[in-house]
Amino acid sequence: SAVISQKPSRDICQRGTSLTIQCQVDSQVTMMFWYRQQPGQSLTLIATANQGSEATYESGFVIDKFPISRPNLTFSTLTVSNMSPEDSSIYLCSAFLNTEAFFGQGTRLTVV
Amino acid sequence: GENVEQHPSTLSVQEGDSAVIKCTYSDSASNYFPWYKQELGKRPQLIIDIRSNVGEKKDQRIAVTLNKTAKHFSLHITETQPEDSAVYFCAAYSSASKIIFGSGTRLSIRP
């Protein structure tokens, strides 16, 4: 199994500012993913982050709004840029290990 | 694009009865189908999974069936207990090497 540490666990941010969320995996993994989960809703994939290449974004998500870094096989960051109240959500990172997906504990973001 | 549909969105069953959640997927190349349980305020946790070369898998009170021809798979929980109350998500590992989640089922166990 894999252990994923995600931080911060929660934050309250002013609109117009940016927040960077970090994920650290205790194993080397090729693929990491970032999801958004609105309260009571399913997980929506934002992007796939592979080490050594640009992240691949899903429809409706763009790099300028959600820049992602993947500097090595155990770490990734997601930045939520120029935040608005509509960005308030839970953000989860995920990593594949032997095709099983493990999740970080999530970041609960509130934009005021 | 890839899509996973899940039904029902809410399910309430009497303690001790069985619960069934059904999902369909669109990507015929999908070959791995995990199920996740998410309790309030917590991260999703894998409870069971099935690969495309298997039609059924069971783990104690939980079982999953897969029909590749029809592109649907189901989760079965028998002898339900209060601690089974949670939101359950089905998912499919697509040919694009990503996991697509269903919309979730909120399962409530009535005492």
pLDDT, average across residues B11-36: 96
Tell me, yes or no, if A90 comes closer than 8 A to chain B by beta carbon.
no
Q: Would strands B86-93 and B32-38 be described as parallel, antiparallel, or unpaired?
A: antiparallel
At residue A28, the 3 state secondary structure works out as: coil
- Please tell me which residue, B72 or B98, carries the higher pLDDT value: B72
List the single residue in A43, A100, A104 with the smallest CB-CB distance to B46: A100
| Res. B97: pLDDT tops 90 | no
The chain-wide mean pLDDT, for chain B, equals 94
Which tokens belong to B108?
A: 């409530």
B95 band by pLDDT with thresholds 50, 70 and 90: confident
- Predicted confidence (pLDDT) at residue B55 exceeds the cutoff of 80: yes
Which residue bears the tokens 């199920």? Answer: B35
B102:A42 CB<8 A: yes
Q: Which residues pair with B7 in a beta bridge?
A: B22
What's the pLDDT score for residue A100?
81
Cross-chain residue pair A41–B43, CB shorter than 8 Å: no
The structure tokens listed for B36 are 């996740």
Q: Are B34 and A101 in contact (CB under 8 A)?
A: yes
Residue A97 — pLDDT band, cuts 50, 70, 90?
confident
* pLDDT of B67: 95
